[in-house]
């Protein structure tokens, strides 16, 4: 990951700006640089992934324009060759160096052409203004706000903006900002045409598009590793990558010291794909000690996100401290596309599709946010193959009746698509999903709840939750998370729409805990 910061304000001092940029130094520990432009400042903290030498350092400048970008632009070599044919030359092997020539040729139309996970700010020297944009899913973070003088500020994380902006907002995915307006350039939740492909074709396309999405994300000039929970999604990513690699891949799993569910499954996958496998074991105290730093890193109070982040945060911390890995691939976004345990209760195909649209639209506040912060705060870069734009676009357009769980097995289309290759053991391919925080260890969730119960008396809980009118805490655990959140992000709860919960309007989903463990169809998922 890298960190970007852009501040519109000619009177902003260099020292003040550098202080704000320093708040996200962990995102880009390799080098930091600031650039004064006519209307303000651009700043960049670099984690070198592509083009590792100093020539790849941002901001890039060209003909009076400048750009900062936290991103990976897939297939950029083809665009660079095209731009070379037009007379442009390049000083580095960085993918982001192509952005300014593209902007010169295409303007804001360039954003819809990018096959990328990115957040960027361009300074247009001729027009003396900032233009900002974010990828259609929001895999790379971007926030904005206005200072007391109504100057806009863009940043990778809200921690850059606390104390500067009264109200901090997530930059809407799939939009660009220009002249005070946010303009949508791509909305992956809007299906132009429902695919009527037969089941065989659907399965083949899912297979081929995901395979390509994984292959793209293996390209890096820095060492790559893989988070392996032992569940379907991360196992598939690892299995495919292992088959494509000419040497054993590095896989990493985490579990509680007493009841980790998935360590044995991760080990089974690792043995099958012959990876160099690493296990990290954590204790109850590790979990309790991680709650506050995780909430500070994430900028959320959401129960599911915090629970699921603790294991990932501690695992990535171990990777950072014990290896030279710089890039990690993860299995996020599969659930939003193919269904959670609770979407088995969807009353119709239309309802399933509407729920998928909502989940994709809000991803940047939940699972994607979790993956980004847990990984970036430990100076690593996350890559998310299930978030490949072509793959997401296709799966969202599949007739939702085919995605409903009418097969007696969740995520049937995905499982069936990879049945023939035998990338992973069949027992893992067909294993039902376990909630990530539960898979790290059933006791993780229970330990947090127990700690929260001991933190507040009943009277203190009633008084505490009354302080918050938005996303009002409804358990002692949620109050604990919210109180810690407010310590770092006071009055910024609107950055997250609400608590991630199953669709309570569906029969079987009216529950008061987001864990899939409380659903009647959880079954053997956690065994």
Angle between helices 199-216 and 389-397 in degrees, nearest 10: 160
Alpha helices in 3-138 (DSSP H): 14-22, 76-85, 99-106
Order of strands across the sheet that contains 175-178 = 60-62, 65-73, 116-124, 129-134, 175-178, 181-184
Note the residue count of the chain: 527
The answer to whether the beta carbons of residues 20 and 41 sit under 8 Å apart is: no
Alpha helices in 165-262 (DSSP H): 199-216, 232-244
2 is catalytic: yes
CB hemisphere CA count around 191 (13 angstroms)? 19
> Could you say which DSSP state residue 404 is in?
S
Order of strands across the sheet that contains 276-282 = 276-282, 250-256, 224-227, 327-329, 381-383
Q: Which of 2, 96, 316, 374 is catalytic?
A: 2
* Farthest-apart Cα atoms in the chain, separation: 71
- Dihedral (Cα; 123, 126, 129, 131), 10-degree rounding: -50
- Dihedral (Cα; 308, 314, 317, 322), 10-degree rounding: -130
**Catalytic residue ranges:** 2
């Amino acid at each position: 990951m890298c960190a970007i910061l852009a501040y519109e304000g000619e009177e902003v001092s260099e020292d003040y700006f550098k202080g704000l940029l320093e708040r996200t130094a962990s995102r880009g520990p390799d080098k930091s640089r600031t650039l004064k432009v006519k209307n303000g400042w651009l700043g960049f903290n670099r984690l070198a992934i592509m083009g590792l030498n100093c020539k790849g350092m941002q901001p890039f400048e060209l003909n009076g324009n400048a750009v900062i970008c936290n991103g990976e632009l897939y297939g950029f070599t083809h665009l660079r060759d095209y731009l070379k044919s037009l007379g442009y030359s390049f000083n580095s092997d960085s993918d982001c160096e192509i952005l300014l020539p593209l902007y010169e040729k295409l303007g804001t139309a360039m954003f819809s052409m990018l096959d990328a996970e990115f957040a960027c700010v361009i300074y247009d020297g001729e027009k003396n203004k900032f233009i900002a944009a974010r990828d259609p899913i929001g895999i790379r973070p971007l926030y904005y706000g206005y200072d007391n003088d109504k100057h806009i500020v863009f940043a990778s994380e809200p921690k850059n903006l606390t104390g500067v902006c009264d109200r901090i907002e997530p930059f809407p995915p799939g939009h660009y900002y220009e002249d005070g307006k946010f303009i949508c350039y791509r909305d992956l939740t809007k299906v132009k045409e429902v695919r009527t492909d037969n089941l065989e074709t659907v399965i083949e396309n899912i297979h081929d598009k995901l395979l390509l999405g994984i292959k793209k994300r293996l390209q890096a000039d820095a060492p790559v590793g893989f988070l392996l929970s032992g569940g379907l999604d991360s196992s598939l990513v690892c299995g495919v990558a292992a088959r494509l690699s000419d040497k054993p891949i590095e896989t990493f799993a985490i579990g509680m010291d007493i009841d980790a569910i998935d360590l044995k499954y991760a080990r089974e996958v690792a043995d099958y794909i012959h990876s160099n496998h690493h296990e990290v074991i954590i204790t109850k105290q590790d979990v309790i000690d991680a709650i506050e730093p995780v909430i500070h890193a994430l900028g959320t109070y959401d129960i599911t996100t915090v629970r699921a982040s603790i294991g990932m945060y501690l695992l990535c911390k171990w990777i950072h401290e014990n290896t030279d890995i710089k890039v990690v691939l993860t299995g996020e976004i599969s659930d939003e596309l193919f269904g959670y345990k609770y979407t088995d209760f969807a009353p119709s195909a239309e309802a399933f599709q509407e729920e998928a649209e909502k989940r994709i639209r809000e991803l940047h506040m939940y699972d994607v946010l979790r993956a980004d912060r847990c990984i970036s705060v430990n100076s690593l870069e996350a890559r998310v193959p299930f978030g490949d734009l072509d793959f997401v676009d296709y799966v969202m357009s599949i007739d939702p009746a085919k995605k409903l769980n009418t097969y007696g097995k969740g995520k049937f289309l995905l499982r069936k698509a990879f049945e023939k290759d035998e990338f992973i053991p069949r027992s893992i391919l067909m294993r039902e999903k376990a909630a990530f925080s539960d898979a790290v260890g059933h006791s993780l969730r229970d330990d947090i709840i127990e700690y929260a119960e001991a933190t507040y008396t009943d009277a203190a809980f009633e008084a505490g939750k009354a302080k918050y009118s938005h996303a009002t805490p409804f358990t002692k655990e949620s109050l604990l998370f919210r109180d810690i959140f407010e310590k770092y992000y006071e009055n910024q709860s609107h950055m997250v729409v609400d608590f991630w919960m199953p669709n309570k309007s569906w029969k079987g989903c009216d529950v008061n805990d987001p864990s899939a463990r409380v659903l009647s169809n959880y079954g053997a998922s956690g065994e």
